[in-house]
Amino acid sequence: MDELILRPIAHIQTDFKEKFGVPRQSGRVKELQGWVVFEKEYAVREALRGLEEFSHIWLLWGFSLCKREGWSPTVRPPRLGGNKRMGVFATRSPCRPNPIGLSVVRLEGILEGKEGLMLAVSGADLVDGTPIYDIKPYLPFADVTENASGGFADSFKDYALEVELPEEWAEVLPAEKLPALLGILREDPRPAYQRDERSYGLSFAGFAVSFFVKENRVLRVTGVRREE
Amino acid sequence: MDELILRPIAHIQTDFKEKFGVPRQSGRVKELQGWVVFEKEYAVREALRGLEEFSHIWLLWGFSLCKREGWSPTVRPPRLGGNKRMGVFATRSPCRPNPIGLSVVRLEGILEGKEGLMLAVSGADLVDGTPIYDIKPYLPFADVTENASGGFADSFKDYALEVELPEEWAEVLPAEKLPALLGILREDPRPAYQRDERSYGLSFAGFAVSFFVKENRVLRVTGVRREE
């Protein structure tokens, strides 16, 4: 029956404890840092020989927060306002027959620390703890497709909100986390259906960030506090 | 334990009955045609709504010919001559902890024929019958990484043999299969370890093609006959 059982080779550590706020594709927020920590069995330095020559890598990972109970042929992509249905295979929706994700991230380095062998990466769109099933080098000669057309997704590739972050709240955050947070907020973390000015709370890097969006154009931060 | 069980959503039909001759990355031989035939359960036209707007798609598939009995941290990439070991995660080798493949192919069309619902694709590097676990749109804004460096793989991206195909043998093939066959032969199908002038036989589109390679530079076809 060609079933394939995948076992995690690693887990990623990121600043996202929950799905809300995670960019909707990899590479959208290049300042986001992550650490791919290998499982004991796969923490073999030799298995990475030559990988440092590549600037980018593919991660194949599991949509671990998406419960699979049957599947739906169509989904509502958030960037289409949540009211237009597209075929699940025409989207990168997490809720798909086989809940496997694909992300290209920048490889910043290979580390051997007290947690074992790990890769430092940036630009990942993954929740903390996501299981990683495969790592492949990004091969520009095969993976870059010239003149590819991106369908309906092309129309929102430049979508971004203007972000207002008052200094009093910016100061609460460690300075090195600020560029990534601004990137996340510009991406508009609101759910597809909610396009009103209600208040939202985002958890990032151990901080609770509250905000609202004015006229679907400007996102204003109304608070930043350390989570307990 | 985060195990993930994948079930095929489709199988691909290609002209390769065996691994020998399959290009070593997708897109290398753009003339190769294939058909992604959906399993009955997933043959739902709605699940593809919007897909026709995309020029390219990702296929996630299983290395069904690679038996997994343990894993090796290093492999010998054929393009490095088969005598240099690289880490398995620095390669696209089929023999990896989770034998899952990633290929970008051109989407030529969506068909509903007597075999059911299928996608016509080109540029696939897959053996006939390979199980497909996921189809995702190729998103240029996320998947095209500018200025990516391709490590040791960059050095063989332009590798190609010169092909001599005498007219008497070219005539045996259906004309529409000729460009793809020439592409396959240019890619040098020989195994990594064998760099001598011995005779090889390739099965493609129902034909047995024999050839040898002179001075690691020119591939000469010595016969084409229909397979029984």
Domains and CATH numbers, chain A: 10-143 (2.40.30.70), 160-226 (3.30.2310.20)
Considering only CB atoms, B51 lies closest to which of A9, A60, A89, namely: A89
Q: How confident is the model at residue A67 (pLDDT cuts 50, 70, 90)?
A: low
SS3 percent helix, strand, coil of chain B, rounded to 5, is 20, 35, 45
- Rounded to a whole number of angstroms, the distance from the CA of A121 to the nearest CA of chain B is 14
User: Is A67 in CB contact (< 8 Å) with chain B?
Assistant: no
Which strands sit side by side in the sheet containing A218-226, from one edge to the other? A162-164, A218-226, A207-214, A200-204
User: What ipTM did this prediction achieve?
Assistant: 0.92
Kindly report, residue by residue over B193-205, the tens digit of the pLDDT: 667 889 999 999 9
Minimal CA separation from A7 to chain B, in Å: 5
In percent, how much of chain A has pLDDT > 90?
A: 70
Interface list for B 151-170 with A (CB within 8 A): 151-154, 157
Instruction: Characterize B148-182 residue by residue with b for buried, 16 or more Cβ atoms within 10 angstroms of its Cβ, and e for exposed.
Output: bebbbbeebeeeebebebeeebeeebeeebeebbb
Residues B97, A42: C-beta atoms closer than 8 Å: yes
Beta-carbon separation of B142 and A9 below 8 A: no
Q: What is the mean pLDDT of residues A114-121?
A: 93
Chain-chain contact of B87 with A4 (C-beta, under 8 angstroms): no
Q: Is the minimum CB–CB distance between B110 and chain A shorter than 8 Å?
A: no
Q: So what's the pLDDT on residue B158?
A: 82
**Interface touch A7/B28, C-beta < 8 Å:** no
pLDDT in tens, A17-37: 988 888 888 888 888 999 999
Residue (of B137, B166, B184, B165) closest to B31 by Cα position: B184
What's the pLDDT at B83?
77
pLDDT digits (tens, 9 = 90+) for B150-189: 877 777 778 899 999 999 999 999 999 999 999 999 999 9
Whether residue A51 is predicted with pLDDT greater than 90 in this model: the reply is: yes
Low-confidence stretches of chain B (pLDDT < 70) are 1, 66-69, 82, 193-194
Q: Provide CB contacts within 8 A for B122, sequence distance 6+.
A: B30, B31, B32, B33, B34, B105, B106, B108
pLDDT interval class at A166 (50, 70, 90): very high
Question: Residue B156: its pLDDT value, please?
Answer: 75
